[in-house]
Amino acid sequence: MAGLSYGTAGRIAVRELHSSRGKFAFVVLSVAIGVAALTGVRGFSSAFRRTLLLRARSIMAADVSARTNMPPTPEQEKGIAALEAAGNDESPVTELLSMASSARSMDPLLVSVKAVDPAKYPFYGTVVLEPKMPLDKALTDDSVAVGDDLLLRLHLHVGDAIKLGTEQFRIAAAVLDEPDRLSGSFAAGPRVLISQKALEGTGLVAPGSRVSRRYLFRLPRAKKGRALSDAAVAELKARLETLLPEAQVADYREANPALTKALDGATGLLSLMSLVALVLGAVGVAMAMRAHLQQRLDSIAIMKSLGAGSGQVMKIYLLQTLLLGLSGGVLGVVLGMGVQMAFPLFLAKLLHLTPRFALDVHAIGLGLTAGMLTTLLFTLPPLLDVRNVRPILILRRNVDAADDPFGARLMRKLKGSGAQIGASALIVVGLVALATRVSDSRRVGWTFAVGLVVVLLVLLAMAAVTLWGLRRFLKGTGLRLPSTLRHGLANLYRPGNPSAALLAALGLGVMQIAAVYMVQRSIVSEMRGATAENLPNIFLIDMSTDEVGGVRKLLATQPTVKGTPEILPVVSARLVAVNGVPFADLKLKHVGRFAQSLNLTWPPVTDAPPPGDSVVEGRWWTAKEAAGAAQRPLVAIERERAARLKVKPGDRITMSAQDEDFTATVAAVYEADSRHAFSRAEFILPQTVLAGMPVVWYGGVHCDPAATAGLRRVLYEHFPTVTVIDVAATLEVIRQVLLQVTYVIQFLAAFSIFAGMVILASAIAGTRYRRIREVVVLKTLGATRARIAAIFSVEFAVLGLIAGAVGLVFANVLARYLLVHVMHFAYGFQAGANVAAWAAVAGLTVAAGWMASHRVLGQKPLEVLREE
Amino acid sequence: MIVVAGLRKSLRTGGATVEILKGIDFRVGRGEFVAIMGASGSGKSTLLGLLAGLDDPTAGTVALNGTVISNMPEDRLAQLRGRTIGFVFQSYQLIPTLTALENVLLPYELNEDAGEQKAGLERARQLLQSVGLGARMDHYPVQLSGGEQQRVALARAFILRPPIVLADEPTGNLDTVNGQHILELLLHLNHVEGTTLVLVTHDPALAQHAGRRITLRDGLVVGDEVQAGGVRVDG
């Protein structure tokens, strides 16, 4: 036979596809679902992430902010101007404490002034004013906006006048909410919002006055349809850190640690799910193609006996594979776009936000390529097997080496399969490329692909060992087992039955599905914790020791207050030396003059960290050590602060409070949760050390977000000098965002899991063609359908149980690794969930087997026999 | 024993309907040995399949021992088949995952009122001995030659002492020597067990051994003759 033309090969390929449409529907479906999940999940999650990050930015009102207490040098001003020239938007925020007075009130009041450029501020989010008006209408040269607590205290109304420094201003509006309330300074006194220009006129900012400045930056808009790259944000942050060494530079991802962690976790999980979808699709294809080629052995043998070379035969099946991959890819992309459009519809009610749907050529291209490539890659090994088909097969159907032990088969395969090994290497490289492309990280790509191959090999080995053990058992028990059970078990060794491969595929699928579920569950439960309703959303500042008892009592009687208020004492101190080295001689980076001032506190319970804090290094002191701390002072330091000062447990810190020096040994370094009131103090000492020092008290309390105004009023009526800061609105934003993330994660995880189950079910269904002949024989011999179904159930249940066990073991290993080492979440083994999952896998495998065998069971024996 | 009346079978392939059996009538009495002959495509295998209830006829009926099996519910048919018919296929159709002994025992296990397993096991061993496979009972089908596999299939067909054995080209896949051996075994078992035997073949030499020869052409019976040494039973 001269070279088989592509035309002829194509014709044969198409006819074969046409003649077994039903079977290939499963292959196309597997690819399509994989690709759909890939494009749908990826497209939706990137759109969602864009929308979500926009909200995260609103917490900072900017992409990057730099906060400093030092006035900028001319050089720094030039540097900031250069950053602006480079396309970044910049807007300064100045914060200071001042006194405000009015004609109606005798006493001036300490206020916290915040000056902004109303034309630019805020870059993200909005300032809510009452009456509603744009910020630049409220903040003019002669008008300001003030907190409603100021109106209350000074007995003023909107429209009245207020005096700041040397100037009189009209109160244009009351400030109800500022987006960056959590990022600004938590100073005492009600808010006065003023324009930068008006502030200059007041004469309040004089050289030497204690002013804190924040430079807000917004990066140039990213190209249409693409997310702002994290690299650009990081680059701007780095430049600012060099330009303003004394400043605290933060980007929007650091605005709220819980939010950042949730977003990172969600992003990681989402790309993991995309990859899972991809591989599950590939597994489905590989299983189906293997089954198909097994069935085609006769035609292949006939072609070979007519003189066709392996290359020519492979050409036919290669074309077939490409056609299948292409149709699956196209269908998948269409499905994926449908999914992407449908998700927001489902979620609109829950999310109150609609990611814009964009026809992403990129995603479509990726989907198509992924479909074709995975199909091709995973069918390569069975395709190469075509070379080993001998024409003798036409004469003796049962020439089959499947009876050999796995080891011997493996050795024989290894010997004669340089090409297969090459193909496998190609698969790994292709997987790396795809995973890298999907996860946008080469490291993730490699880890994923290599990990997958290792897991697959281990799964194959474990499956083979289990099957071998089962066979030994079967031989040992012989005819003593009930015949249905014996027959069902024996079916696992049906010649050509890819039990080991099916087990590995199922195991892999179970592993990935279960891992997605576990990771999802862990992230969601942690986020639920972060959105817990009793976190402080009202902060109390500057309470005196005389007042604090009364405040506690008052709070206890308020029905809108939930949980126990967190109230902490703060002793102001100065850092004198570390390990005997005076502060001035400590060569520390990014530590300004103000790093020398310290907030000290003692914990509410002597021998345990305060709420929200957890020890990361060293250990907390015992009650006994605390009692003896007056002689041997101990201190626990917040992790970031410790890192900046380069101290670790065992180091000695010399502090000065009220001009009295004392040296404490660092006992522990702790991680603080900024959502708790105790995060306001970064140095914790036993109470005995701080006894007798002047103390002001701070507090955090959770109030029903809808009733904060009432609580503020009550507090003001009883304790007019205590500053109350209300961050309920901002925290509500964060809570909402976190809840949205949990919904989306759960939704997408459920979708991925569903897609995975469909693919696995179709892989199981792919084995049904092997059963037809057997069903016919059994029926001819007098078996009822129930009997045959029972035999198959045993076979499927065993497959499901083995695959489930192996898959779940690996899922736990994988989930633990991902959660603990990659995403920094907690992992806990859940026995109940694992057992339930195990039973579910077995049950679903049996159900899928039944569904797949249903038609086969109903077929008339003669229909099948006639085809022979 | 077997009564076939007005039997028709059509198949739809592609868009066209092909009539394979065009109205067939005959009776087969107890203990008879009938060979159904005909060229390839004459409908003989389809006829045999309908006799065994492996498919439903388009029209007409098949009755076994007075029970009309045409259009009987699937599972009842299977049970009836298990008790009444032994089937021998051209391509053996052994279950590859079971040993020779297990394959022979299978109809026994599938049939709930067959009796205790011990008795079945005894008979399976005995049958395998009688077809000369006493030493290969624990072998799997792939470990057996074609002739040996067909001998296992024969033993399987006779295990439940069915009143009827249907054989579809039982020697078709075998060489002359093995084919001859299988035929002898079949006749021997037929004789010993006293079964009715219906055999489909296109081999005149094989058909010679039958007491009666029914010839099919284009879906119709064109010949039905008693052969020397054969017995024709009417009714």
Q: Please name the residue of chain A whose CA is at the shortest distance from the CA of residue B76.
A: A784
Mutate to test the interface with B, among A494, A781, A860 (most CBs of B within 10 A): A781
Q: How many CB pairs under 8 A join A and B?
A: 104
Q: Give the pLDDT confidence score for residue A414 in this predicted structure.
A: 59
Per-residue pLDDT tens for A281-313? 777 777 777 777 777 777 777 777 777 777 778
pTM of the predicted model as reported, rounded to 2 decimal places: 0.68
pLDDT at A404: 47
Expressed in angstroms, the distance from the first to the final Cα of chain B is 8
Residue A154 CA to chain centroid, in angstroms?
A: 47
Q: Do B93 and A779 touch (CB under 8 A)?
A: no
Whose tokens are 């917040």? That residue is: A638
Mutation target vs A (from B7, B72, B109, B158; most A CBs, 10 A cutoff)? B109
Neighbour-count burial for A212-224, b at 16+ CB within 10 Å, e otherwise: bbbbbbbbeeeee
Sign of the four-CA dihedral B46, B47, B52, B56: positive
Q: What's the pLDDT score for residue A402?
A: 44
Q: Which residue of A has its CA nearest to B50?
A: A862
- Residue B62's pLDDT is 93
Of A494, A773, A784, the CB nearest to B97: A494
- Residue A618 near residue A628, CB atoms below 8 Å: no
Weakest-pLDDT range from A204-213, A413-422, A753-762, A791-800:
A413-422
SS3 percent helix, strand, coil of chain B, rounded to 5, is 35, 30, 35
Domain ranges of chain B: 2-226
For the segment A624-649, the average pLDDT, to the nearest whole number, is 87
A480 contact B CB<8A: no
CA distance A724 to A225: 42
pLDDT tens digits for range A471-507: 888 888 877 888 888 888 888 876 656 677 777 778 8
Name chain B contacts of A780, Cβ cutoff 8 Å. 52, 54, 81, 87, 93
Check if A470 contacts B (Cβ < 8 Å): no
pLDDT tier at A613, thresholds 50, 70, 90: confident
Query: Which pLDDT does position B166 carry in this prediction?
Result: 92
Query: According to the model, what pLDDT value does residue A9 have?
Result: 80
CA atoms B121, B92, A782, A767: torsion sign: positive
Q: How confident is the model at residue A597 (pLDDT cuts 50, 70, 90)?
A: confident
Average pLDDT over residues A796-809: 88
Q: Which residues of A touch B56 (CB under 8 A)?
A: 860
Cβ-based contacts of B89 with chain A (< 8 Å)? 777, 865
- A735: how many CB neighbours lie within 10 A of its CB? 21
Tens-place pLDDT, residues A350-396: 555 555 666 677 777 877 887 787 777 777 777 777 777 766 655 54
The pLDDT of residue A16: 79
Across chain B, which has 235 residues, the per-10-residue mean pLDDT values are 92 81 92 90 88 89 89 83 87 85 88 78 91 90 89 91 90 83 84 88 86 92 81 37
For position B215, what pLDDT does the model report? 93
Q: Cβ distance A454 to A494 under 8 Å?
A: no
| pLDDT interval class at A403 (50, 70, 90) | very low
**Predicted local distance difference test score (pLDDT) of residue A35:** 82
Residue A528 has what pLDDT?
72
Residue B232: the pLDDT is 40
Measured CB to CB, residues of chain B less than 8 Å from chain A are 45-46, 49-50, 52, 54-56, 74-75, 78-79, 81-83, 87, 89, 91, 93-98, 101-102, 105-107, 109-111, 117, 121, 140-143, 146, 156, 160
CA B168/CA B196 separation, integer angstroms: 14
Chain A: closest CA distance from residue B197 (Å): 16
Please name the member of A403, A487, A783 whose beta carbon is closest to the beta carbon of B98: A487
Q: Per-residue pLDDT tens for A219-266?
A: 887 655 445 567 788 888 888 888 888 787 888 766 666 666 666 667
Question: Which tens digit of pLDDT belongs to each residue from A523-568?
Answer: 778 777 666 667 788 888 888 888 889 999 999 998 888 888 888 8
Residue A311 has a pLDDT of: 78
pLDDT at A195 over 90: yes
**B172 vs A412, which has greater pLDDT?**
B172
Q: What is residue B235's predicted lDDT score, i.e. its pLDDT?
A: 33
| A765/A30 Cα distance (integer angstroms) | 11
Please indicate whether, in this complex, the C-beta atoms of B142 and A778 are within 8 angstroms of each other: no
Q: What percent of chain A has pLDDT over 70?
A: 83
Determine the 3-state secondary structure of B152 from DSSP.
helix
| pLDDT at position B90 | 85
State the pLDDT at residue B207.
Answer: 87
C-alpha span between A356 and A405 (Å, rounded): 56
Alpha helices in A538-622 (DSSP H): 545-557
- Residue type, position B108, single letter: Y
Closest residue in chain B to residue A785, using alpha carbons only: B75
Instruction: Find residue A701's DSSP bridge partners.
Output: A538
Looking at chain A, the domain(s) classified CATH 2.40.40.20 span: 538-726
pLDDT of residue A766: 67
Write A839-843 long-range contacts (CB < 8 A, 24+): A840/A804, A841/A506, A841/A510, A841/A800, A841/A801, A841/A803, A841/A804, A841/A807, A841/A808, A842/A797, A842/A800, A842/A801, A842/A804, A843/A800
How much of chain A exceeds pLDDT 90, in percent?
Answer: 11
Peptide bond into A122 cis (omega under 30): yes
Res A666: pLDDT: 93
Nearest Cβ partner for A865 among B49, B97, B107? B49
**Phi, then psi, of A95 in degrees rounded to 5:** -125, 135
The answer to whether the peptide bond before residue A131 is cis (omega within 30 degrees of 0) is yes
For B2-226, CATH number? 3.40.50.300
More confident residue, A824 or A73: A73
| CB-based contact, A774 to chain B, within 8 Å | yes
CATH topology of domain A538-726: Barwin-like endoglucanases (2.40.40)
CB within 8 Å: B97 and A490: yes
DSSP β-bridge partners for residue B197? B33, B165
